[in-house]
Amino acid sequence: MDYLKNTPKFFLGANSPLGFFSLFDNLYDPEDGWFCYILKGGPGTGKSSLMKKIATHAIGRGIETELIYCPSDPDSLDAVIMNEKKISIVDGTAPHTMDPVYPGISDKIVNLGDFWDSDSISAKRSEILNLSHKNLLFRTRAKGYLRAYRSIKNDIVNMTSCAVNRKKVRQYSRNLTKKLFKKISDVPGHEKVRFISAITPYGVIFLEDTLTSICENLYIIDDDSGIISTIILNYVRQAALSLGHNIITCYCPLDPKNKIESLIFPDSRIAFTVSNTNHPLEHLKGSSRKINSKRFLDRKVLSSHSRLLTFDRKIERELLLEVIKNLNKSKYIHDEIENMYVPTMDFEGINKLTKQLINEIMDIR
């Protein structure tokens, strides 16, 4: 990722307790003049490589670009978003299957399956099916461990919740919002929704370069339970939107419907994020402002649960390790499947297609 260091990076999918959780409907807006190229084709057909070439070309021409990475293989791209041109390119295959909304008007399919040798793939039918079934087994196990993880996390939240001074947190949130955000419009701000972290085969990855490349003022909330940060970030989000500020809201993959992990305000170059045991951000704290969640907790109440909290946190760590192990095994098998497709591909043909797409997207005649 070095050559794209200052380019904002996000995830739009998450390995979550709900299974694969998709935010891919945030990729483009057909009603607002956007166009999306939807790539189809099996593993190993060059979808990510094609997107990386187009992204590199766009960034080299100074086009504002977002890179969307794959939580199951964070070395690969799931999508590229060119906000300035209102163009997206996406891997439209499972588990984030996409199809055109208004074919030919707002989107179109680019089928890389046209470049494989069907006879060669058919000859590997039984091996591919067997590997695919094994892959599903490991992903199902990972999902089960994530559900157990969420159950333990809920127990930690319930015990910690009793010690929270909610009135004090809300007052702090009001004061902080009043200090940082003034009314700039009678129209509510625009909100993008993303993930800035992911549970991957390599562990929990947090895309901190995105925060440092977009923002100058970073507020880090130390909060292992997530209760305090949730109250603060929900308040800041709602208030700032009502004042007309645009926001990128990043949810937590462990609770992708409810728990905010980061808030980014690109126009004012301010961001809020959470530091916890899964992604400690100690190395960023020298250039940021720290919000210590412990100031809002009654330590006497919390100490009454200390034995159970210690036990739960130990189980929590073990469960997350099992999730990562199973995702790693799944990726290993997926790589084997990719390696079976690669020799069947006409990559010379795909390179020609890539050049055509670059010319089309960049309006090169």
Residues 6 or more apart whose CB falls under 8 angstroms from that of 95 comprise 13, 20, 22
Q: How far apart are CA 343 and CA 88, in angstroms?
A: 29
Return the pLDDT at 82.
96
CA 133 vs CA 125, 145, 164: distances in Å: 12, 19, 46
User: In which band, very low, low, confident or very high, does the pLDDT at 285 lie, cut at 50, 70 and 90?
Assistant: low
Query: Domain check: are 51 and 169 in the same one?
Result: no
Q: Find where tokens 């087994």 sit.
A: 137
pLDDT at 5 over 80: no
152 assigned to some structural domain: no
Per-residue confidence band for 238, with pLDDT thresholds at 50, 70 and 90? very high
173: nearest Cα among 114, 238, 122:
238
- How confident is the model over 132-160, as a mean pLDDT? 96
> How much of the chain exceeds pLDDT 70, in percent?
97
Angle at 163 between CA 162 and CA 165, to 5 degrees: 105
The last residue of one of the domains, among 116, 150, 177, is: 116
How far apart (Å, rounded) are the C-alpha atoms in residues 271 and 356?
Answer: 38
What does the pLDDT read at residue 288? 84
Query: Shortest CA distance to 200 belongs to which of 318, 64, 69, 328?
Result: 328
Same domain, 182 and 292: yes
Give a yes or no: residue 311 inside a domain.
no
Q: 185-210, pLDDT tens digit by residue?
A: 999 999 999 999 999 999 999 999 99
pLDDT in tens, 307-322: 999 999 999 999 999 9
Q: Is the pLDDT of residue 270 over 90?
A: yes
CA angle 330, 333, 335 (to 5 degrees): 110
Which structure tokens are listed for 27?
């990729």
**Do both 178 and 265 map to the same domain?**
yes
Of the candidates 187, 165, 181, the residue with the CA atom closest to the CA atom of residue 293:
165
Is the distance from CB of 239 to CB of 181 less than 8 angstroms?
yes
User: Domain boundary at 254, 277, 297, which?
Assistant: 297
* Domain limits for position 41: 2-116
Q: How high does pLDDT run on average in the chain?
A: 94
* Among candidate residues 116, 147, 175, the one where a domain is terminated: 116
Q: How far is CA 321 from each of CA 30, 278, 326, rounded to the nearest angstrom?
A: 40, 11, 9
What's the mean pLDDT in 248-271? 96
Is 89 inside any structural domain?
A: yes
173 and 291 in a single domain? The answer is yes
Q: How far apart are CA 360 and CA 239, in angstroms?
A: 41
Report the DSSP beta bridge partners of residue 37: 89, 108
Pair 107, 193 in one domain: no
The pLDDT value given to residue 365: 34
For β-strands 35-40 and 107-111, DSSP reports them as parallel
Per the structure, the count of domains in the chain is 2
pLDDT tens string 48-99: 999 999 999 999 999 999 999 999 999 999 999 999 999 999 999 999 999 9
Q: Answer yes or no: is 286 within a domain.
A: yes
The pLDDT-based confidence of 4 (bands split at 50, 70, 90) is low
- Neighbouring-strand partners of residue 291: 221
